[in-house]
Structure 1
Amino acid sequence: MKTQVKALVVGGGAVGTSIAYHLARAGWDDVMLLERDELTSGSTWHAAGLLPYFNMSYATTHIHDYSIRYYKTLEEETGLDAGFFVVGNLRMAQTKARMDEYMLYASTAETCGVPYEWMTPDQIKERWPLVRTDDLEGAIFHPTDGYINPADVTMAMAKGARQRGVTIERKWQVDGYRWDGSVWHVDAVKMVEKGGNLVPSDERIVIEAEHVVTATGNHAQRTARLLGIKIPAIPVEHQYIVTEPDPALVEWRKTNPQHPVLRDADAKWYVREERGGWILGPYEDGAPARFLHDVPESFRADLFPLDLDRIEEEYMSMIHRIPSSEEVGLKDDYNGPICYTPDGNPLLGPAPGLRNMWLAEGFSFGITAAGGAGKYLADVMVEGEAEIDMASLDPRRYGSWMTTEYAARKNEEAYSHVYILHHPDEERPAARPLRTSPAYDRQKARGAQFGAVNGWERPNYFGPLDAPESFDHDARSFRRGGWWQYAHDEAKAVREAAGLIDATAFTKHIVEGPGATAFLDWFTCNRLPKVGRINLTYALTAQGTVRTEYTIVRLAEDKYYLVSAGAWQAYDSDFLMKAIEDKREEFGWISAYDVTSQWGVFALAGPKSRDILGGLIGDAEPETALSNKRFPWLSARRIELGMVPVNAIRVAYTGELGWELHHPIEMQTHLFDRLVGAGEKHGMKLVGARAQNWLRQEKSYRAFGNELGRDATPLEADLPRFVDQSKEFHGKADMEAKGIRSKCVTVLIDGPEDADPWGREALYDGETRVGRLTSGGYSVAFGKSIGMGYVRPELAVPGQKLQVKMFDRLWQAEVQADSPYDPENQRIRMDG
């Protein structure tokens, strides 16, 4: 058995075998996979093998699409039938809102090249008469997917991996990991059968591996403990039942092909054919999380006791939808663990705080995702980045604040939410509120409806003061929901008077020391600010794409305050700390520390913001303290507001005169009360994230995770003014070599009267799809919908006519000059 390898994959389910295969296909010729039992003995063996395209995530849709296309090639390569039944997938809708969801999803699918068809109830009935359709609105049909045999596809991938030189060893359990600065030392023990259980033997080895990938499925908590990190992947019980043959189905199949996989999302189940009968897989409420800390040694390819009472409603709805199933008995039943994460997306990418350790955990749709997960993780490991931005799947999207209890409750919620209406403005309630700023209760009392960002509660908008607890949920829609008018009025207040925004969730770091300046000059692509000034800049990947957006405040010659997106605290921190560690010897001593929880932030913006602050500021000459002369745009000063010392930054994400007020978080309530009191006579409103999102699009301000990410360079984002190409910086050569493959634009849209884009829609030039939106909303300045996105470079010209796909039709759009609102920045520079 090998004891030195380039890459070691731990876990022999569908995901692990795919990763081993794709690493070998990408050119790594020394890959080994360890499985503690037999291949497929985890969740893979009892998976139903469905291959659903449907996903609201751009990255995950690409992953699923690759899997479906890849599985169709395995038999030709390996000679093994992967058991792929291309029967299609029919996703039915009982309500108009569900059809709206499908139409939004379809636009995302178009941006990834995924084929689909629309079907009416009559068309469904004509094609599949066993399905009841009288209470349906319609359906979306994917003709190219279906279902696959999980064991067969795993064995086919395993054979393909062996053919490419991968070594696969069964009955070896990993018991420890040690990093010596260059390689991992992985302790493994041979497992043997004893009384029906697997137990460790006396045979042990240590494997040296340059890279390690964990794909340990239900055993993720044990993996986390061995690595000393948090992995919020915890299994949840999933039941499905198999019926006896249905005579009506058996008769149908004599002259007809298989039914597609049927999904009645409003009834919360999937159904597919199985040997003349039906498989029903419900996603019911109340399914419990299991194995919160470890999987018992006695649990191998085992199942939990069935709880049929829990799925009675879903079972009865299957009978309603397929009436012939009513008299059919049950043949088999399954209740097994399937791993989930708090948001339902897998954890695929670098392990936080560790070198050359890669996680592939938390796959609730593991068979669907396995092929694509292997391909795109191999791209990141071998090439440095994938062709798509993998940030939405990155394990570092969860911070160290996350606990086992949090993950368990959120994973149960994610399971029960598989088939709910996935509104783009969806906010899930489990484990909330958790991380709250001191002003949380004050804002809630003023009608705040909160969203969760990295666990922080952040106001989305301020609704009616007497709203019931259900108001926010009832206000959601795929069109302009009940929240829309409140966000409209907030945005208008910022443009005409002033708005106060809680931005406490911002990620904040201090970087200082003799090497800080040289390091940051190399780490970021813009020139560094002078002392007391600020700059917007980007840290790039080695491939020249945008890894992180920073506002840098220079506090002293060798001391800097870095502000980045609140949703990406651990993601940014891990990247920054590792870069500093890599460069400390070259640049000298550098200290960096996360101060996110020490500083609260209020953003005050609008033409009246200077008047509001002027009434609070403690200064010998308060009438000039906030003037352009003493406090110019893009500068930072320490000021006093009431009894609060504030690090004030003159910048506003809304494009109006404004300041970010960074303050000791323990003084936040005092500052909030003073600002609210001072703002009342000036017409100031409390403003949420949705209005702010609209306003920043009017200024063409790119957002990280939307316009900015690891699939585009800052030049493709059309931000050359923030790139100093006269200096050397990380990723510069690759950025320049890529050229401009696509370009970011702002468009104004003549859309439907009751809806705005969400930033997931396809862009067309006539009949040709030419790009996609990455942001969307409404412009109070122009009185119409607005969006930002990427198109072919030759189309990124002001005045270019395009179309946006919304609700299955094309709406006229026009490319704008950058910053269509106040392009000269006169309002943000306003003196007084």
Structure 2
Amino acid sequence: MALPLTPLAHQLAWTGPLPALSGQSAEAVRPILRHQDADLYYRERFERLGIGYYGHRPMPITPEEILPVADAEVMPSVLPFTGDDFAPAWAETRALLPAAEQATLEEGVNGLFSFTTDNMPLLGESREVRGFWVAEAVWVTHSAGVGRAMAEWLADGHCSSFDLHECDVNRFEAHQLAPEYVRTRDCQNFVEVYDIIHPLQPAEKLRPLRTSPFHARQRELGGYFLEAGGWERPQWYDANAPLLEDRDIPRPNDWAARYWSPIVGAEAQASREAVALYDMSALKRIEVAGWGAAVFLQRICTGDVDKSVGSVTYCLLLDHDGGIRSDITVARLGRDLFQVGGPEPGWSGYGSDRDSRSPRRRT
């Protein structure tokens, strides 16, 4: 089973005793400290200080390079410490925490973490092998919640405590399982693990992946492209700049205005006033066919989709408990043939993937 994750080494080191912590009998008295701008975090261990560091170069390994339990000196996930990679972290630590100037580094490890292309765990039953379940890329901060979620999912067929669609192991498309794609995106996620990512910030590498038949013309029109489901999707066209004349387009704040142009507002207004053409290639199309298709869709949709052939119904898609999963369109193409139109990945949180650059990060 192809799992889109990469084992990457993360450095953790421990100082010798610090005079400022001398005699501390509890393992940790002070809270964990995170120095986010320098990709560092700190936690106490009695009289010593633990230093975690994400600022070093990505250090991916292949699954084949992970040693068997019997051959590993400590455990398969613990690799030898590379001191040169940690040197900037130690210098920054002594500058930030004067107490550390009186200490030395005594031990360190390069510990393996699992990174995925969208920074979310891989949970659920294999699509190919019934009864084969996965719970991978689960970090310690997720562990208890994932345990509960998986227990409910295994016992009841779905999880009632959490919405797990962004963690479903089967959420990826074929292009997101390609080895180069997985390794490149996972390494970039390591680099950005402590960064504050704008929700619209696109990936810069491995693009373009998918282009519509209109792509060449869109570039001629000065299209500004972001990525949606692997597709290059134009957000606005420089050719439409004249639409700004005599229009007052509100400007958002500087953060919200990233990956934005007032042309977007002008295009939206022009669409309401006249006629516009939009490239919808990034939106999903799902065919529901066969005897009982109408009954099935009637059950999971909020709208009445059992209409005449050629009708299109805009409605909500519901989950097991009647909660809202997404907004969709349902087009009836034949007596027992329907086409369901879903949002592109990242919209309304449905099917979100690394292409949509989720702003949430593990801590």
TM-score interval (norm. to shorter): 0.7 to 0.9
Select which of 224, 231, 234 maps to 2:3: 231
Q: For residues 460 and 705 of structure 1, what CA distance do their matches in structure 2 show?
A: 19
Structure 1 residue aligned with 2:341: 563
For the residue of structure 2 that corresponds to 1:405, the secondary structure is helix
Q: For residues 272 and 307 of structure 1, what CA distance do their matches in structure 2 show?
A: 20
Select which of 39, 47, 66 maps to 1:276: 47
Structure with higher Rg: it is 1
Change (3 A) 1:507 1:338: same
Structure 1 residue aligned with 2:330: 552
Contact 2:200 2:259 in 1 (8 A): no
Mapping of residues 247-326 of structure 1, within 5 Å: 247-250=19-22, 258-292=29-63, 295-297=66-68, 300=72, 301-302=75-76, 303-326=78-101
State the number of aligned residues. Answer: 336
Q: CA deviation at 1:337?
A: 1.3
Q: For residues 263 and 343 of structure 1, what CA distance do their matches in structure 2 show?
A: 23
Contact 2:126 2:132 in 1 (8 A): yes
Contact 1:529 1:553 in 2 (8 A): no
Q: For residues 173 and 334 of structure 2, what CA distance do their matches in structure 1 show?
A: 29
Mapping of residues 661-676 of structure 1, within 5 Å: none
Tell me which amino acid in the other structure corresponds to 1:389: D
Structure 2 residue aligned with 1:699: none
Mapping of residues 696-711 of structure 1, within 5 Å: 704-705=348-349
- How far does the alpha carbon of each residue in 1:256-297 deviate from its partner, in whole angstroms, 9 at most, with x for none? x83321111111111122232221111125212212557344
Contact 1:448 1:459 in 2 (8 A): yes
Structure 1 residue aligned with 2:272: 495
For the residue of structure 2 that corresponds to 1:427, the secondary structure is coil
Tell me which amino acid in the other structure corresponds to 2:280: A
Structure 2 residue aligned with 1:389: 163
Q: CA deviation at 1:371?
A: 0.5
Change (3 A) 1:359 1:450: farther
Q: CA deviation at 1:524?
A: 4.2
- How far does the alpha carbon of each residue in 1:287-334 deviate from its partner, in whole angstroms, 9 at most, with x for none? 122125573446541433333333333332222211332342110010
Q: Which one is further off, 527-536 or 411-420?
A: 527-536
Mapping of residues 270-669 of structure 1, within 5 Å: 270-292=41-63, 295-297=66-68, 300=72, 301-302=75-76, 303-363=78-138, 366-383=139-156, 384-401=158-175, 402-462=177-237, 478-481=255-258, 483-522=260-299, 524-525=301-302, 526-547=304-325, 549-567=327-345
For the residue of structure 1 that corresponds to 2:345, the secondary structure is helix
Tell me which amino acid in the other structure corresponds to 1:259: R
Give 5+ residue unaligned stretches, structure 1: 1-223, 225-229, 466-474, 569-702, 710-757, 761-832
Q: For residues 439 and 519 of structure 1, what CA distance do their matches in structure 2 show?
A: 35
Tell me which amino acid in the other structure corresponds to 2:324: V
Q: For residues 356 and 550 of structure 1, what CA distance do their matches in structure 2 show?
A: 30
- How far does the alpha carbon of each residue in 1:28-64 deviate from its partner, in whole angstroms, 9 at most, with x for none? xxxxxxxxxxxxxxxxxxxxxxxxxxxxxxxxxxxxx
Q: For residues 299 and 208 of structure 2, what CA distance do their matches in structure 1 show?
A: 39
Contact 2:15 2:104 in 1 (8 A): yes
Contact 2:294 2:305 in 1 (8 A): no
Q: CA deviation at 1:367?
A: 1.4
Question: What percent identity do the matched residue pairs reach?
Answer: 27
Q: CA deviation at 1:420?
A: 1.1
Q: For residues 362 and 444 of structure 1, what CA distance do their matches in structure 2 show?
A: 38
Contact 2:198 2:359 in 1 (8 A): no
Change (3 A) 1:521 1:419: closer
Q: CA deviation at 1:362?
A: 1.4
Contact 1:451 1:459 in 2 (8 A): yes
Q: For residues 247 and 498 of structure 1, what CA distance do their matches in structure 2 show?
A: 73
Contact 1:449 1:459 in 2 (8 A): yes
Change (3 A) 1:478 1:386: farther
Contact 2:43 2:50 in 1 (8 A): yes
Tell me which amino acid in the other structure corresponds to 2:19: P
Q: For residues 450 and 441 of structure 1, what CA distance do their matches in structure 2 show?
A: 12
Change (3 A) 1:458 1:265: same
Contact 1:242 1:331 in 2 (8 A): yes
Contact 1:552 1:563 in 2 (8 A): yes
Q: For residues 168 and 226 of structure 2, what CA distance do their matches in structure 1 show?
A: 21
Point out the structure with the larger strand share. 1
For the residue of structure 2 that corresponds to 1:379, the secondary structure is helix
Contact 1:425 1:476 in 2 (8 A): no
Tell me which amino acid in the other structure corresponds to 1:262: L
For the residue of structure 2 that corresponds to 1:333, the secondary structure is strand
Q: CA deviation at 1:516?
A: 4.0
Contact 1:246 1:276 in 2 (8 A): yes
For the residue of structure 2 that corresponds to 1:272, the secondary structure is strand
Tell me which amino acid in the other structure corresponds to 2:66: V
- How far does the alpha carbon of each residue in 1:745-800 deviate from its partner, in whole angstroms, 9 at most, with x for none? xxxxxxxxxxxxx999xxxxxxxxxxxxxxxxxxxxxxxxxxxxxxxxxxxxxxxx
For the residue of structure 2 that corresponds to 1:368, the secondary structure is helix
Change (3 A) 1:559 1:497: same
Select which of 199, 222, 243 maps to 2:15: 243
- How far does the alpha carbon of each residue in 1:546-581 deviate from its partner, in whole angstroms, 9 at most, with x for none? 34544222222233222222328xxxxxxxxxxxxx
Contact 1:423 1:476 in 2 (8 A): no
Q: Which one is further off, 288-297 or 257-266?
A: 288-297
Q: For residues 273 and 208 of structure 2, what CA distance do their matches in structure 1 show?
A: 33
Change (3 A) 1:391 1:512: closer
User: What is the RMSD of the two structures over their aligned residues, measured on CA atoms?
Assistant: 3.5
Contact 1:476 1:482 in 2 (8 A): no
Q: For residues 441 and 310 of structure 1, what CA distance do their matches in structure 2 show?
A: 44
TM-score of the aligned structures, taking structure 2 as reference length: 0.79
Contact 1:237 1:338 in 2 (8 A): yes
Bigger relative CO (Cα 8 Å, ≥ 6 apart): 2
Q: For residues 353 and 462 of structure 1, what CA distance do their matches in structure 2 show?
A: 42
